[in-house]
Structure formats: structure tokens, C-alpha cells
Amino acid sequence: MKIIKPIPTALLAAFIATAGSSSAAFAASAPDLKVALIAGKTGALEAYAKETETGFMMGLEYLTGGKMEINGRKIKVIVKDDQGKPDLGRTLLAEAYGDDKVDIAVGTTSSGSALAMLPVAKEYKKVLIVEPAVADEITGAKWNKYIFRTARSSMQDALAAASTFKSGSVAFLAQDYAFGRDAIKAGKEALAATGSKARVVHEEYAPAASTDFTAPTQRIFDALKDKPQPRVLQIVWAGPNPLNKIADMKPERYGIALAPGGNILPVMKTWKAYAGTEGTIFYYYGFPKNKMNDWLVAEHTKRFKAPPDMFTAGGMAAAGAVVAALTKVPNANGDQLAAAMEGMSFETPKGTMSFRKEDHQALQPMYHFRIKKDQKNEWDILELVREIPASELPLPVRNKR
């Protein structure tokens, strides 16, 4: 019988030390994980883009314990401004995948630009996480397997709003471009999907840069004033919201209630005079109760003297998806990442989200709010009527997989 001699303790210790130092040296020499963040930092949606970037960077900080690394590899974020222009968005994403050799990309602010970017992800076989663009086509007709969305969709917005309209008459006011028309189309479908008995009696589309709402509002009032109660005007608007100007026309004369979609904090703080008005929103800093949101609210308030906004939370959600994905697939191979991310759950300021396997849309709760009567400070704007769980939002699958 051959006797195997034990390895001397000193020699074994030396081997372990050598192996450990080699692993550490490998981690230290491993290439950076590169992430492209594309956003419309100039143009009409500049405020949204800046919030997204802030939230994304804070998300990476929180999720990596301040180290800004995953599995020992440093995270390098390359930020590009597409100015909300589809052609530029497409070019910048190709540049990020091709020249910068990024492992994964996130973007962008404008739905038009995001839609232009989708085929680029397919061409390069690299994952694109869409945040904060909302057009339904992104996870619908224009989708491909490399596309994942942490942002909510127009249909999720619409389903949340529809859940608050049980009966009566509804009119819509929206901007006359893809976002607005997509939102109203989704709104009408959502009413049917939620079993609402409310009937849509009018749709009004105004130029995106409108400042005078007298004529379109009067047309809405005329269409609603004799219809069954309750009478609701649903406002879907990106950027400075027309709520104040419409309220000045006294819709209550006709028994019409206004239902604004949630907006960024600088817009909503101008709504103080409309206490009791209700609407729906995908994030307000005071609503979610979890460790990540607690940290975000505290840190953002400390650093910026104001609480985080809707798109700040969205950027942090995208960071959660990036960290979870690259932890699962360290080599960042596009096909392996796409497979691993299907059904993947990840942490966000709204709680745990999951990418639906069928179309890679992040399923998430929404919030029914009421504008507060007693506001303690300029950011104390909304009170929660009800969190609407994702399970109550019957989001259809519309991609052609």
C-alpha cells in the first residue's frame, strides 16, 4: 500500500497565501466593467435626464457599499447626451457598444430616441436597459431579446389611473406627439381591461409646447358637462403641467374633477391650491417603505437639500438591474445576460421588481395619491390613498416573440 504523506503545514500555508495573492492580483488587474448611460441631458426633458443620472450613480454606490465594483471589478460609467434626438441616440449607442466596448447600456429619456436604439442592441448582441422611456412599443412591437425595461410603460400608467375610475365619464388631455397619443390609447384600453364602467367621451391633443389651454379646455368642458357623473378630466403631460391653468377655468362649474398624472416635484409643488385632487403616480419619495428607499431619501436630502424625485428612483432601479445582472453573468456576454435576466428580480426604491420573462418589462406597484391639505414644507405634497400592487395591473404581453 502506498502511503500518502501529509503536506507540511508551512508549505500548505505558503500555497494558500500564494493562491490568495494570485486571486487578488487577478481581481485587481481585471478590466473595468463598462456601463453606458445615455440620457437627454439637453432639451425639453433635461430635468428627467439629470435625475436619472443622479439616481443611477447613487444606486451603484448603495448596491456596492460605496466600492463601485462588482466581483472585484471596478464599474466605469460612460455618460452620453443624446439631446432627445433619435438619430443621435442610435449613433451614441453604437459608439458605446463598438468603440467604448461597454458591457451593458442604460437609456434613454425620450421614447423616440429609445425606440431608435432598440435595433442597435440587437445588432451588437448587447443588453440595453430602458430607463425612463415609457412608450409601449419598447416592450411591444419594437422589442427584441436584448431589451429590458426598468421604467414603467404607458400601459402601466394607464392601468393605474383606470383602477381609480369605476364609472361615469372621462375626457383626456395629452400632448400631440408619440408619448401623449400612446398614453391615451393605453388609457382607453386600460379602462376596458380593469372592468371600469366609465366611458371616454372626448380626447384632446395640444401641441407639446402649449402655454394657452383656453380653447382645448373649453372643448373638453363642453364634451363633459352633460355626461353622467362622476366627470373626470385625466391630464397626461410631460414637463410643466397645465393643471393650474385648467383649474383657473373652474371645471367645478360643470361638476368636473381633474385627475393629474404624477409629475416631478418642482411641478407638483405648484399644485398646493388643489388639496383633495387625486391622481396616480409611479413614485413619490414618501410612499415606499424599504431600506433602499430610506437610504435614498436620507442621502439625497442630505446632499441636495431636497428629496429624490420620480426619475431619481428610476435611475436607481436601473442600477439595481445592472448590478444584479453583472453579478449573475460576470463576463457580460450579451446572450448569457439576456437569458439570465429573464425573470430576474432586483432591488429598487419601490421594493423588489422582476423582469417578466415574456417581454422583459419590469413589473412594479403604482400609487394612488391625493394632494395634501396640510403641507409641512414645500416637498410635503402628496398623501397615499392606496398602493396598487403589480398583481392588480393586468399588463398585456404585446411583443411578437
Each residue's pLDDT tens digit, 371-400: 999 999 999 999 999 999 999 999 999 998
Q: Tell me whether residue 91 is exposed, middle or buried, using C-beta atoms within 10 angstroms of its C-beta: 0 to 12, 13 to 18, 19 or more.
A: middle
Q: Nearest-CA neighbor of 35 among 72, 84, 69?
A: 69
What is the reported pLDDT for 24? 45
What is the reported pLDDT for 8? 53
What is the reported pLDDT for 238? 81
> What homologous superfamily does CATH list for 155-281+367-392?
Response regulator (3.40.50.2300)
Cis ω for the linkage preceding 251 (within 30 of 0): no
What is the reported pLDDT for 19? 47
Starting at the edge strand that comes first in sequence, how are the strands of the sheet with 69-70 ordered?
A: 69-70, 73-81, 33-39, 104-107, 128-130, 147-149
- Give yes or no for residue 14 having a pLDDT over 50: no
Give the residue range(s) of CATH 3.40.50.2300 domains in the chain.
Answer: 33-152+288-364, 155-281+367-392
Is residue 387 within 8 A of residue 287, CB to CB? The reply is yes
Is residue 106 within 8 A of residue 147, CB to CB? The reply is no
Query: Cα(221)–Cα(342) distance, rounded to whole angstroms?
Result: 46
pLDDT tens-digit readout, 176-234: 988 888 889 999 999 999 999 999 999 999 998 899 999 999 999 999 999 999 999 99
Q: Which three cell numbers stand for residue 340?
A: 439570465
Q: Which three cell numbers stand for residue 33?
A: 466593467
What is the reported pLDDT for 110? 93
- Give yes or no for residue 139 having a pLDDT over 70: yes
What is the reported pLDDT for 4? 46
Looking at the DSSP bridge assignments, the partners of residue 258 are: 233
What is the reported pLDDT for 23? 42
Query: Cα(351)–Cα(353) distance, rounded to whole angstroms?
Result: 6
Is residue 208 within 8 A of residue 177, CB to CB? The reply is yes
One-letter amino acid of 116: A
- Give yes or no for residue 60 having a pLDDT over 90: yes
What is the reported pLDDT for 367? 98
What is the reported pLDDT for 208? 87
- Give yes or no for residue 122 having a pLDDT over 50: yes
Percent of the chain with pLDDT over 70: 93
What is the reported pLDDT for 401? 77
What is the reported pLDDT for 16? 47
Range 298-302, long-range pairs (CB < 8 A, 24+ positions): 299/58, 299/62, 300/54, 300/58
Mean pLDDT, residues 79-88 taken together: 97
What is the reported pLDDT for 273? 85
- Residue 30: band (very low, low, confident or very high) from pLDDT cuts 50, 70, 90: confident
- Give yes or no for residue 25 having a pLDDT over 70: no
186: left (phi over 0), alpha (psi -120 to 50) or beta: alpha
- Give yes or no for residue 5 having a pLDDT over 70: no
- Give yes or no for residue 62 having a pLDDT over 70: yes
In whole angstroms, how far apart are CA 220 and each of 202, 224, 239, 254?
7, 6, 21, 11
pLDDT tens-digit readout, 296-335: 999 999 999 999 999 999 999 999 999 999 999 999 999 9
- Quote the mean pLDDT of the chain: 92
Q: What is the CA radius of gyration of the chain?
A: 24
- Look at the alpha carbons of 386, 389, 394, 395 in this order and tell me if their dihedral is positive or negative: positive
What is the reported pLDDT for 28? 52
Q: What is the pTM of this model?
A: 0.88
Residues 95-123 as b/e (b if ≥16 CB within 10 A, e otherwise) read: bbbeebebbbbbbbbbbbbbbbbbbbbee
- Residue 2: band (very low, low, confident or very high) from pLDDT cuts 50, 70, 90: very low
- Look at the alpha carbons of 14, 72, 357, 97 in this order and tell me if their dihedral is positive or negative: negative
Is residue 386 within 8 A of residue 146, CB to CB? The reply is no
> What homologous superfamily does CATH list for 33-152+288-364?
Response regulator (3.40.50.2300)
